[in-house]
Amino acid sequence: MLKVPEMIVVDLDGTLIAKDSSLLMFKNIIKKNPFVGLKAVFVYLFGSEAKVKAYIKKFDNINEEKKQRLNTDLINYLIGMKKIGKKLILATGADYSIAQDFNANEVNQLFDIIIASDGKINCIGAHKLRAIEKITKDFMYIGDSWYDCPVWFSASAIGVVKPKIEMRNMLIKHAKLSGKNLVIFD
């Protein structure tokens, strides 16, 4: 039987939804108002990725597109975990307002805690790991990206969504060497 820690941390983009939410919003902005899209490019070039995520959230909301791309198998798994008392954390590189909207509107407040980019820090990789470790050091992490490696390597259990063969092989090897449980959501 798979031992799952009390805290399950889950990524948003590419994991709970099929695409990058910031990229979807940027594409929508370009279609609706190219000037705002051009300004977003300048915010990215002369600011930071975290700042551009906060900027584009002001101009677009992609709830309808997200609903069409939800990973229902993973969401059902998480609902089952919550029913048996697990605490769920949404940890994403998306802007906090996007994560908050997703939790409120797409998954009915499924997540107990939200960790996200804040306009200053892009919450991916080591930044995401530091934020998680302020809450817990014993957690399962479910993600999909190479940026998630620092988090997977520190997690007590690993979940991966639709991994490419290289990532799948790397995580299988890591799980065997470290004795961690690995769940693959294809």
Q: What is the CA radius of gyration of the chain?
A: 16
- pLDDT grade for 21, boundaries at 50, 70 and 90: low
The reported pTM is: 0.79
Query: Would you report the helix, strand and coil content of the chain in percent, each value rounded to 5?
Result: 50, 20, 30
Dist CA 102 CA 15 (whole Å): 13
What domains, with CATH codes, occur in the chain? Answer: 7-19+65-185 (3.40.50.1000), 21-64 (no CATH)
Q: What is the pLDDT of residues 51-60, one digit of tens each?
A: 766 666 666 5
- pLDDT grade for 19, boundaries at 50, 70 and 90: low
- Number of helices (H) and strands (E), helices first, in the chain? 9, 6
Q: Coil, strand, or helix at residue 63?
A: helix
Sheet strands (E) in the chain: 7-10, 87-95, 113-117, 139-143, 157-161, 181-185
Specify whether the backbone of 151 is left (phi greater than 0), alpha (psi in -120 to 50) or beta. Answer: alpha
Pairing of strands 113-117, 139-143: unpaired
Q: What is the pLDDT of residues 131-174, one digit of tens each?
A: 999 999 999 999 999 999 999 999 999 999 999 999 999 999 99
The string over 46-67, giving b where at least 16 C-beta atoms fall within 10 Å of a residue's C-beta and e elsewhere, is eeeebbbbbbbbebbebeebbe
Q: What is the pLDDT of residues 112-132, one digit of tens each?
A: 999 999 988 989 999 999 999
Identify the pLDDT of residue 82. 96
